[in-house]
Chains A and B, each alone.
Chain A
Amino acid sequence: MTPAWRNCWTGSQGSPRPGDLCWRLSHVCLSSYPLWLTKHHPTPGVISFTLKLSGLIAATEDGFRMLQERSILDLAFNHQHWHEAGLWEDPCIRISWIQGLRSMLQHSKALSFFVQADFTLPLLQLQTDASLFVVSAANQMLAHILLFFQPTSPAGFNGVDKKHGDGKTTRASIADIEHSGIPMETSQDYTTVVTAILEYLKESLVPKENTGLHQSLQILKLLALLLAQARPSLRDKLLQTVAGSLEELATAGYSQLTLPLMDIILAAHSSSSTDGCVPDQRVTHLLSSMLKMDKPSDLIHAAAAFLRRGNQDTVHSAQAVRILLLPLHIITGQTLLGTNTAVEEHQFSVVEQLKTKTPCISMICVCLTNTPQITLTPPDVLPCPPVLIVTAVLSLLRICSGDSSSLSTGCAEVFRNVIGSGKVQKCALEALMGLSSSPGVKDKLTEVFTVLIQYLNNPDLDPTVLHKSYQALVKWMSVCKDLSLITHQLRQDLSEVVKKRVCDMRWEVRDSTVEFVGKLASVVSSAEEPCDAPEAFLGGCCSTPLLREALQDPESYVRASAISALAQTLAHSWQQGAALTQEQTDIVSRLLEILSQDTEGFARRAVVQYFITWFSSHSSHTSPSSSPSSSSSLLMNSVSSVLSLGSVDLDWEVKVHTLGAG
């Protein structure tokens, strides 16, 4: 429905003028509407449309009044009528009923209509509807009623417990401004609705049996919507009503509800703290119960959810950190939580859970994903220095690849679940990347290199794991800057493995490898003590010949990556304005060949990008007196070929890049 159309009906651009065509049309249509609705047996689609339309018209008080005068609203939104007509079964009727009401509920008259018609109960029933869309709409609608009509000052809300936030209305939304002068009857209607809804929430939040989880889940979602936007008075009222039920849910340990429950508690926790108050005792208590749950996987998810919020609560942060580090501590045998973990209350249950493959992998991954965040928590919260966490992640990586030398300290029964698990490997590598910027971990560079080179050498790893290993290498090198820490032997090993992987059978691996060579060049040239070229860093492994070889690769992605990598490798010499070599001339002729002959667009696009990079680095460093044999003359000669070839290319991206360059 277009806004213009809508305005035509609702007249929101001004009051409806009797002469207006739409207005007249609506008059004509609406006068015959009741008859039509009762006699002509319209299809569900038409009814659905009329419900939405009625809602839109009734969104303004004038429209509302007009429809009321013709009893259209009573007729259209009479759900009993649709029940009797057998049409309520159709989800599109139910959802339109909600949406119609939702559009209408923009003013106090509509609220009165809603209350008088006793729509609260059917709306609440729709919250457990079979259709997910209806459920979602009902939830949105309930939230809308509670939030939209909530009084701006606590005084407007009858019987609110004013323990916190007295007169401290700090955040005023647009709704506040529009509805600041809520009349008395609205307040009464609102209280009626709020009471009914809160009563329902309190009654239905805790599932009567396992089948009621769906309803609880929906209520939790509703609560999350509410708590995120409720003003202190409503929030307080909400919390007061549901705190007992939430407590009951927290101790009941329904795994499916852990995360939504945690969302609510954290929303309540953070909204109360941002109001500048001491967090509500009830919320703090709930949080503590969540971080003491019996089921390890729920516990870990709860702890992760807490940590992700970046909460300043030191006591709970420390607790969450310990919970999250426990699986890593158990598997790797690194003393992340100190030597005496017998006191760790969840130790036993976590070990048991880790012995089963699926929960083990899931828990470890949650734990790993959060390690970078953990290292950024204040030192008094951390049970160990960040460097120890890096050691643990490295141990885990070794265990995952079946390296038996690191298997002596950890928990052997868990090893079998993580050995060869690509998911854990990827998570651990990502964690390792994230940990590169943690405080005080630079000393680990050598060890990180050793493990990552072992990974690159491992023939059984998935190409995506190898790709992540390369990324981790680049990340650590770029963060650590001081490349002198990397021993000659490591450079030699890296060079050997790069030479091997560039010949790999899997194109993905070859692609990642050439990409790495290019990135390595950028990192090396921006290092504190830049080497002349990545060749020097890689201990004699000549990266340019490797990349030139890769230009012949049968896979176009690899060719394209090789071209980009060549640009990165040669960028240093371009910037230095170094003399032209035969190698560069050969590369240029090969690239022009690719641009004119390669059947795949990726490679051709990369060629154009190559020349753009060269040209832009050249133009900023060129000297006016360059000899004809210098690289600038080669560049200038080739640019014209690139422009003429690229501008007639059938691939639009090649063309765009070319024209852009031109």
Chain B
Amino acid sequence: SRHLVLANSVSLYCLSGHPTLPCNVLKFKSTTIMLDCGLDTTSVLNFLPLPLVHSPRLSKLPGWVSKDGTVNLEKELKECAGRVFVDSQPEFCLPERELLDLSTIDVILISNYHCMMALPYITEHTGFTGTVYATEPTLQIGRLLMEELVNFMERVPKAQSATCWKNKEIQRMLPGPLKDAVDVWTWKRCYSMQEVNSALSKVQLVGYSQKVELFGAVQISPLSSGYSLGSSNWIIQSHHEKVSYVSGSSLLTTHPQPMDQSSLKNSDVLILTGLTQMPTANPDGMLGEFCSNLAMTIRAGGNVLVPCYSSGVIYDLLECLYQFIESASLGTTPFYFISPVANSSLEFSQIFAEWLCHNKQTKVYLPEPPFPHAELIQTNKLKHYPSIHGDFSSEFRQPCVVFTGHPSLRFGDVVHFMELWGKSSLNTIIFTEPDFSYLDALAPYQPLAMKCVYCPIDTRLNFHQVSKLLKEVQPVHVVCPEQYTQPPLTQSHRSDLMLELQPPPMPYRRCSVLNLPFRRRYERVYILPELANSLVPSEIKPGISVATVSAVLHSKDNKHTLQSVPKPPPAPPTKKRKRVMEEPPVVLAPKPLLSGAVPLEAFLATLQKHGITEVKVEETADGHILHLQAEDTLIQLEEDGTHIVCDNNEPLRTTLRDLVLRFLQKL
């Protein structure tokens, strides 16, 4: 194979500004690849909670009327503890859909189950016809999370859909934070289960390090990222360019397979997203806080509420508690896990053996299951229920610990427990998910007597780890959300909480379009054996041979092949006499290519031999100018060209040309 120098551009369209819920589109080598499709659910914090059981408190909240009385949105907006909430089914902030035509997307690569929640919005009703690539645990657990979300919403249907408040003129007059919410018109209600199924049917499963060819142009391959079951980073490469996409990754020893760092080496561009949202909170310390606060509450006779997702950190929390229960004498305290998908989540985690860390993988060959929560279930210490209705209500004992969703406290069974336990200072709510501000989450429940503890556990890479990683893998360029290029707003002195790289990272924000810089611009071209056989290489430097090729370039499926020039069709047999006349034009051999340099001294000596003695040599920036004074002729000898300026003396010009040619090699 040989290389062809091509100019190509690689662009990145950034459809989400959320650094940990990314959605970017990479246009690379005539393919359009979407990297993750994260759904920003923080918008739901502007909505009133959806209570599972009728809540007199929430139903009696006063409606909002502007101070001067000119705007009356009593039906849509409710006031609670000094803040205004939208009384409607919660809506999500979708990835940007106007920046490029989503139907042109060829493939979507999913990194982990948290970063695929917007998938139905992208693949359905947009004309999308491509393929989604994800690992099996990502697909299965992602499906559970979507199912849970749909279930939470559909369980509590809201007749009305509030839209008046979105009117720009009205929104301007609303109190914060509603006033400052951006792009509210693009917010959408939750998708349906049918849409989820349709979206997930487009997923094609891949395994770690499996290489998938896309249209012959690029190869994609997922790598273990160590963050969650089946979580991956992606390598997108052609023969000469390599883009690494790093999404939520972790170097901590938790349940998933450890992160594959070495495969990220030699990247031209590394797109870095999904760093920890809590750079100052060390997960180990937070886990410790979680346990001690939990034990403290239970000892004092209170209940503990843990709002969490039904998959992910909960596995580690349960494992940690499994060890802690004994030492804290919590053996008799019941632990409840309530979620429409609780059972599947707990069971799924046990069957994805190949996706687990080494320690857990080895347990697969033993009688005991990889995760100790199985033992907690067997011994009746951990009980799981699809909802608070049904069996749970009859078996519920206090004091207890309840794990349930949704961490935003706007929908799901957690809403019920907030109403139930919020009034007692004996109870504690412990936030472990880092996605939502706990103060905002608690806003519609104020005034609250319950104790609140914030222990966000985010195992993703922190700035220290990522700078070590980048030093190790040494990408040429790094692209990252702009948030990573400056210290957090509230901690402007913490220069350790940002990326400091050389060259500086290329920042992006929502709606940015970046042209990614590439060092090399080559394309691989194959030569057919018969054509290769016909080549006559000549060595121009030791080890470097050159040959001229006349061929037809054939490009198909982004593969380029040089084929021999087809022979002209044989002329139809005619009379011999005529043949001479009608012989088709011969395909002329190309003129020989010249290479080498003309050595000045030797050339002057040769000129002298040919009787040209009066030569004035002038040095220029690129070489020399020889002035043949007697002949009134100029010879410019430059690095990449030789010019003979000789008016009206063709024999002299030819002589000079031949003298120059003596010093050059011909191909």
Contact = CB atoms under 8 A, between A and B. Distances in A.
Contacts of A553: 327
Contacts of A402: 280, 494
Contact of A549 (B293, B329, B490): B329
A415 B327 contact: no
B288 A505 contact: yes
Nearest to A553: B327
Given A413-B495, A459-B455, A554-B326, A404 B490 contact: yes
Given A459-B285, A503-B291, A505-B291, A408 B493 contact: yes
A247 B281 CA distance: 52
A419 B493 CA distance: 12
Contact of A555 (B284, B285, B292, B327): B327
B491 interface: yes
A503 B300 CA distance: 12
A501 interface: yes
A416 B487 CA distance: 12
B186 to A, nearest CB: 35
A459 B288 contact: yes
B287 to A, nearest CB: 7
A468 to B, nearest CB: 17
Nearest to B496: A416
B299 interface: yes
A175 to B, nearest CB: 60
Contact of B493 (A415, A501, A504): A415
Majority-rule SS of B interface residues = helix
A506 interface: yes
Contact of B285 (A460, A549, A552): A460
Contacts of B295: 503
A554 B292 CA distance: 15
> Which of B280, B324, B326, B327 has its CB near the most chain A CB atoms (within 10 A)?
B327
Given A503-B291, A553-B327, A459 B493 contact: no
Nearest to B291: A505
Interface residues of A, number: 26
A124 interface: no
B296 A505 contact: no
Interface in A494-536: 499-501, 503-507
Contacts of B329: 549, 552
A415 B324 CA distance: 35
A422 B286 CA distance: 18
Contacts of B136: none
A419 to B, nearest CB: 6
Contacts of A554: 326-327
A598 to B, nearest CB: 16
A279 B509 CA distance: 70
Contacts of A458: 285
Interface string A435-467: 000000000000000000000001111000000
Contacts of A72: none
Contacts of B291: 503-505
A351 interface: no
A459 B495 contact: no
Contacts of B495: 412-413, 415-416
B288 A506 contact: yes
A503 B320 CA distance: 14
B473 interface: no
Given A503-B299, A555-B327, A415 B285 contact: no
B330 to A, nearest CB: 10
Given A503-B328, A554-B326, A419 B496 contact: yes
A407 interface: yes
Contacts of A416: 494-496
A553 B324 CA distance: 11
A413 B494 CA distance: 9
A661 to B, nearest CB: 31
Q: What range describes how many residues of B lie at the interface?
A: 20 to 34
Interface in B246-302: 280-282, 284-289, 291-293, 295-296, 299
A402 B279 CA distance: 11
B210 to A, nearest CB: 39
A503 B292 contact: yes
Given A499-B296, A500-B296, A415 B494 contact: yes
Nearest to A413: B495
Given A402-B280, A500-B293, A554-B326, A505 B494 contact: no
A506 B324 CA distance: 10
B454 to A, nearest CB: 11
A553 B326 CA distance: 9
Interface string B490-505: 1101111000000000
B652 to A, nearest CB: 69
Contacts of A460: 281-282, 284-285
Contacts of B285: 458-461
Contacts of A507: 327
A461 B280 CA distance: 12
A458 B455 CA distance: 11
Given A505-B288, A554-B326, A549 B299 contact: yes
A459 B296 contact: no
Most central of B282, B328, B329, B495 by chain A CB within 10 Å: B328
A457 to B, nearest CB: 9
Nearest to B324: A505
A71 to B, nearest CB: 70
Nearest to B294: A503
B173 to A, nearest CB: 35
Contacts of A506: 288
A402 B490 CA distance: 12
A458 to B, nearest CB: 8
Contacts of B292: 500-501, 503-505
B447 to A, nearest CB: 20
Contacts of A415: 493-496
Contacts of B281: 459-460
A603 B284 CA distance: 29
Interface in B90-105: none
Contacts of A504: 288, 291-292
A412 B487 CA distance: 12
Task: Please list the 10 inter-chain residue pairs (A to B) with the smallest Cβ-Cβ separation, ordered nearest first.
Answer: A459-B285, A503-B295, A460-B285, A416-B496, A407-B493, A503-B292, A459-B289, A460-B282, A404-B491, A554-B327
29 contacts: A402-B494, A404-B490, A404-B491, A404-B493, A407-B494, A412-B493, A412-B495, A415-B493, A415-B494, A416-B495, A416-B496, A419-B494, A459-B281, A459-B282, A459-B285, A459-B288, A460-B285, A500-B289, A500-B292, A500-B296, A503-B293, A503-B296, A505-B287, A505-B288, A505-B320, A505-B324, A505-B327, A552-B329, A554-B327
